[in-house]
Amino acid sequence: MAPQVVIIMGSKGDLSHAQSVVKTLKALEISYEMRVCSAHKATSRLLEILKEYEQHAGPLVYITIAGRSNALSAVIDANTRYPTIACPPYSDRFGGMDLLSSLRLPSGIASPTILEPEGAALLAAKVLALSDNNLRQRVETYKQRFLSELAAADQEVQQA
Ligand SMILES: Nc1c(C(=O)O)ncn1[C@@H]1O[C@H](COP(=O)(O)O)[C@@H](O)[C@H]1O
């Protein structure tokens, strides 16, 4: 079955961050594939990978996981008709300045950055849910958990 979400990481070293995205995709029953490729180091190969998915019949969202200097998200976004969400891994190095490479983009590039893996998966889910009512329902059910947790916390602090 064709995946609904394709996670492309710049290095195998990003795998644990990618797996955090997968956790939420699984909870929402969204099909996915994980790939490793670098726009910096293997540009032609990356374009070949995108071509594999370009004929995809249904809706598809890319989630990119690229640390340090993130070229991956913008190069993917520029070369696909599908939405691309950047979810760079956390890094304290250089005061977290790596993030700027995900945020400051050339004109014509539209890849949003979401730092929390769960949030990136949820945005992908909401995009896909625009044409999938069952998924829309699953997203609603997933979000119910937060409402219940907040209501319980509210009650707890009132009684403290
Ligand atoms: N940001 C990029 C790109 C790219 O944007 O093309 N390719 C690799 N990387 C990132 O560099 C870090 C170190 O990568 P290496 O393990 O290859 O040294 C990883 O977080 C990767 O995602």
Range of the domain at 77: 4-159
Say whether pLDDT at 22 is over 80.
yes
Backbone angles phi and psi of 34, in degrees to 5: -110, 135
Ligand 1: distance of its center to the CA of 54 in Å? 23
Three-state DSSP class for residue 23: helix
Instruction: Give how many domains the chain has, as a whole number.
Output: 1
Ligand 1: distance of its center to the CA of 11 in Å? 5
Per-residue pLDDT band for 2 (boundaries 50, 70, 90) equals confident
| Atom nearest to 12 CA in ligand 1 | 16
ipTM above 0.85, yes or no: yes
- Reported for 124-127, long-range contacts at CB under 8 A and 24+ positions apart, including other chains, are 124/4, 124/5, 124/25, 124/30, 124/61, 124/63, 124/83, 124/85, 125/24, 125/25, 125/28, 125/30, 127/59, 127/61, 127/83
**Ligand 1 touching residue 69 (CB < 6 A):** yes
**Ligand 1 touching residue 34 (CB < 6 A):** no
pTM attached to this predicted model: 0.96
Residue 57 confidence (pLDDT):
80
Binding positions for substrate are 11, 14, 41
**pLDDT one-digit tens code per residue, 115-140:** 999 999 999 999 999 999 999 999 99
Ligand 1: distance of its center to the CA of 44 in Å? 16
**How many CA within 13 A on the CB side of residue 61?**
24
The CATH number of residue 62's host domain is 3.40.50.1970
| Atom nearest to 39 CA in ligand 1 | 6
